[in-house]
Amino acid sequence: MSTQHWSSRVSFIITTAAFAVGLGNIWRFPYVAGESGGGAFLLVYLVLVLLVGIPILVVEIGLGRMARTTPLIGYGILSGFRAWNGLGWLGLLGIYLIMCFYVMIMAWVVMYGYACLRGELANLSPDLLPDKFMEVASDHLVVFLVIAGIVIAGISIVSRGLQSGLEKYSRYMMIGLVVIILAFAVWAASLPGAMQGYAWFLMPDFAKIDFSMIVSALGQLFFSIGVGMSVGFVFGSYTSEKDNLISSAAWIVFADSAIAILGGLMLFPIIFSFGLSPDSGPNLVFVTMSAVFSQLEYGNILGAVFFLLLFLAGFTTLISSLQAIQDSLADRFHISSRITLPLIGILILIGSIPVVFSYADVPVRIFGVRVFDFVDFLTNHVLLPIGGLLVVLFGGWVVGVRKLFDHLEIGGQPIRQGMFWRILIQWLIPVSVMIIFINGVT
């Protein structure tokens, strides 16, 4: 049984939102939106947030509180069949693989922030910035050293315990992140040509909506909110029975979506103001934004603050992931954090090696694609959607909607429109996710 507890419901909401608000909001969301048509993607994403994201997060958190333990044994307790614990392992596998490339991107962020402070980007013409990105990404020794420093810093925080470590630092970093992103959004609004960026990001072109876009939006949803990663289950096990989990989940998803939209309102006006392309792909915040900072008088300072924003977003997700993996392994194998945390750190470092070497003169490939691209596709288009699908099937059919609702009503109001929620959880979400998933991978 879980011995960890949140200090308050507000701390639970802030910390879980800090986990969700990661690089997926400020790095991944803008570039996926840029590749997928801007406003049309945003519309599809928000619909999926309401119909899929919130319900699945409610189910996952609710299951965690019902089990009162972590997912590697919790699913077996709830179902009476230990084989269901495999769903917990699936979630941890997904989050582990994500962390293997996540720490590489965070290392790039640190290296770019340092380059901004040194004024290196200011001396480069825009046409040389793609070469600068490859120079940073292919400096493997420095990338590994920075990754090691980031992982060690994360472990040192998590080792202090839930309330003194994860809760405390997530709260401070979340405040810093919100202040910085709001300041950048206000500055972006003052730039000439900002309205073009707003129009492109907020005005949907319905002709661009297709299955490919819906698959991208669904993958972004799972990546950003973190459903299917088992973190929601773990964090749910820390909650009090007095907490209203439905409203808590809604606040978490609202905060996550708000930061993602703010990220778009920050980046796209800047991009259009400087006549750059919004569909630059994963390099958007590194190459495209560096081109902006290189043209500004105080670009080195703005660039450093921008990459600090990215770091704060990524680090809160990293420490939440470490906490969830550590507690899950500790519950399953009855070993202390002194053993599990260093072990997790070593495994992440080992897993990051082939990902880092995706950026080399001869990149490491799997099935003909770079390891980074393969792991990104595997996690966001396969593991997380399957994990989310199984979570909602488990809650709706194995535990049962009535039993789940009875538990969710503890600490909250009676669930209205029960038949709608029953149909949504048992049929609409599973069938929709399955159709979208099959069309996305075939």
Is residue 4 situated within a structural domain?
no
Residue 211: its pLDDT value, please? 82
DSSP annotation of 415 reads: P
Mean pLDDT in residue range 244-250: 92
Mean pLDDT in residue range 349-373: 95
In contact, 70 and 340? CB cutoff 8 Å: no
Total domain count for the chain?
A: 1
In contact, 26 and 316? CB cutoff 8 Å: no
Residue 277: its pLDDT value, please? 80
Q: How confident is the model at residue 214 (pLDDT cuts 50, 70, 90)?
A: confident
Helix, strand, coil fractions of the chain, as percent rounded to 5: 80, 0, 20
Residues near 94 by beta carbon (within 8 Å), at least 6 away in sequence: 228, 229, 230, 379, 383, 384, 387
Residues near 117 by beta carbon (within 8 Å), at least 6 away in sequence: 300, 304
Is residue 403 situated within a structural domain?
yes
In whole angstroms, how far apart are CA 150 and each of 72, 110, 231, 257, 302? 27, 9, 20, 26, 22
Q: Which residue has the higher pLDDT, 52 or 146?
A: 146
Is residue 218 situated within a structural domain?
yes
Mean pLDDT in residue range 50-74: 94
Angle between helices 384-393 and 429-441 (to 10 degrees): 160
With CA atoms as reference, report the closest residue to 249 among 434, 385, 53.
53
Q: How confident is the model at residue 224 (pLDDT cuts 50, 70, 90)?
A: confident
Query: Is 70 exceeded by the pLDDT of residue 413?
Result: no
Query: Is 70 exceeded by the pLDDT of residue 11?
Result: yes
Residue 299: its pLDDT value, please? 87
Rounded to two decimals, what is the model's pTM?
Answer: 0.93
Is residue 2 situated within a structural domain?
no
Mean pLDDT in residue range 188-212: 90
Is residue 1 situated within a structural domain?
no
Query: Is 70 exceeded by the pLDDT of residue 281?
Result: no
Supply the Cα-derived Rg of the chain in whole angstroms.
21
CATH number at residue 229: 1.10.4160
Is residue 50 situated within a structural domain?
yes
Domain of residue 251: give its range. 9-441
Q: Could you read off the pLDDT of 296-309 as tens digits, one per residue?
A: 878 899 999 999 99
Residue 173: its pLDDT value, please? 95
Q: What's the start-to-end Cα distance of the chain, in Å?
A: 41
Is residue 211 situated within a structural domain?
yes
Is residue 152 situated within a structural domain?
yes
Query: Is 90 exceeded by the pLDDT of residue 417?
Result: no
Q: Could you read off the pLDDT of 309-340 as tens digits, one per residue?
A: 999 999 999 999 999 999 999 999 999 889 99
